[in-house]
């Protein structure tokens, strides 16, 4: 039996199946640790994790009951994702377990995707493609003659964490004016990325494009409602690469149907995958992708190696590199081994 037992649900998370745990084990080499798969249901996972030294969370919701059943010796709950909405972080915090994520492993890809959605929606790329394929060649140019010039337009950010800042870097090259709203980040951070600090109302009213990057925290749940969409310009395009539940989707549908905004480009939806009767699927002014903004050839190896690094740190008694509930760290048995950036907030 290995010295350290890491338990994880059997099966895949949300990327590719199979492949074992070779990437995760690279950082654990020589530590006498093993990753043990347990059935991906609450009762069986609780029964099999009572002697766990760490949890590799993936593939299922980690409830308060599951976390409360973990032994005192458990040193952390490690995730291979940016979002942590499938783990009860409050329950983990109450038990003193650090919860780690991957806030900086594949954010370049998400920023690329956000910019691609903005450009594709602005230039009506999907509609233009259909026109060519359907023999409506001559309709393409008249449609684009009605859209404003991109340079000089305003891009507003709702949430200005790492991904939004990288999106801002890309947007600056296109000559966009940048403004940002984020009550959890110092305003001094925004000008460093070329963005002017603004209130939520200012972002909604002034922006030609609104890029939402908010994580699915309790505070952000359903934060954009009908009255927010009514504030937007009728020519505005709404982009979301954050989380679907941060938006009242029914209000977004109404805004698109009633012409309160011109269009939307969405990588995330309230329910994933969406039901086929979701009105967004039938709208010509909506561009959709299947929650794959972070995907690239680098995605799986990079995030899984990061998981292994975090597991190795906590099992060797050290603070993890990323922690979404950092208040547990000074109170726990893990030791601080490097300067800890207080700029990073939960799930940033």
pLDDT by residue (tens digit) across 23-53? 999 999 999 999 999 999 999 999 999 999 9
Q: What pLDDT is recorded for position 344? A: 47
Rounded-to-integer distance, Cα 220 and Cα 46, Å: 30
Least confident window among 116-130, 221-235, 251-265, 321-335? 321-335
Position 6 scores a pLDDT of: 97
What are the structural domains of the chain? 4-105+296-328 (3.40.50.720), 107-288 (3.40.50.720)
State pLDDT tens for residues 290-316: 999 999 998 889 999 999 999 999 999
CB atoms under 10 Å from CB of 165, counted, come to 21
For CA atoms 308, 311, 312, 318, the dihedral sign is positive
pTM of the prediction?
0.87
User: Rounded distance, CA 68 to CA 58, Å?
Assistant: 18
Residue range 262-298, pLDDT digits in tens: 999 999 999 999 999 999 999 999 999 999 999 999 8
Q: What is the pLDDT of residue 68?
A: 97
In this prediction, residue 348 has a pLDDT band, given cuts at 50, 70 and 90, of very low
How far are the Cα atoms of 20, 201, 204, 263, 288 from residue 240, in angstroms, in the given order? 33, 18, 14, 12, 10
pLDDT above 70 for 13: no
Q: What is the mean pLDDT of residues 168-190?
A: 96
pLDDT the model gives residue 271: 94
Q: Determine phi and psi for 288, rounding to 5 degrees.
A: -125, 145
Positions marked catalytic: 243, 272, 291
**What was the pLDDT predicted at 83?**
85
- Mapped onto helix, strand or coil, the DSSP state of residue 65 is helix
pLDDT (0 to 100) of residue 345: 41
- Which has more confidence, 65 or 221? 65
Mean pLDDT score across all residues of the chain: 92
Q: Which residue has the higher pLDDT, 77 or 337?
A: 77
Residue 343 has pLDDT above 90, yes or no: no
């Amino acid at each position: 039996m290995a010295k350290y037992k890491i338990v994880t649900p059997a099966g895949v998370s949300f990327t590719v199946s199979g492949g074992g745990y070779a990437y995760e084990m690279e950082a654990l080499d020589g530590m006498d640790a093993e990753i043990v798969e347990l059935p991906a249901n609450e009762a069986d996972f609780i029964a099999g994790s009572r002697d766990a030294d760490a949890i590799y969370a993936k593939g299922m919701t980690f409830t308060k009951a599951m976390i409360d059943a973990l032994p005192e010796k458990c040193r952390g709950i490690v995730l291979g994702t940016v979002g942590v909405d499938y783990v009860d972080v409050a329950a983990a915090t109450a038990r003193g377990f650090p919860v780690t994520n991957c806030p900086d492993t594949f954010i370049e890809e998400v920023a690329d995707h956000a910019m691609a959605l903005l450009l594709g929606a602005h230039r009506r790329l999907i509609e233009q493609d259909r026109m060519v394929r359907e023999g409506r060649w001559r309709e393409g140019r008249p449609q684009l003659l009605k859209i404003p010039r991109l340079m000089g337009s305003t891009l507003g950010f709702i949430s200005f964490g790492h991904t939004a800042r990288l999106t801002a870097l890309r947007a600056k090259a296109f000559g966009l004016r940048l403004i940002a709203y984020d009550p959890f980040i110092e305003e001094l951070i925004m000008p460093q990325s070329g963005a002017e600090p603004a209130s939520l109302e200012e972002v909604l009213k002034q922006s030609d494009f609104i890029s939402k990057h908010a994580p699915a925290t309790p505070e952000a749940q359903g934060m954009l409602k009908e009255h927010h969409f009514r504030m937007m310009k009728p020519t505005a395009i709404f982009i979301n690469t954050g989380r679907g539940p941060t938006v009242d989707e029914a209000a977004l549908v109404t805004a698109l149907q009633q012409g309160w905004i011109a269009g939307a480009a969405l990588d995330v939806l309230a329910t994933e995958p969406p039901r086929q009767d979701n009105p967004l699927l039938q709208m010509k002014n909506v561009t959709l992708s299947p929650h794959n903004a972070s995907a690239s050839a680098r995605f799986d190896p990079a995030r899984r190696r990061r998981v292994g690094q975090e597991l190795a740190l906590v099992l060797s008694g050290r603070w993890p590199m990323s922690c979404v509930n950092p208040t547990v760290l000074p109170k726990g048995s893990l030791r601080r081994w490097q300067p800890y950036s207080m700029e990073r907030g939960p799930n940033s």
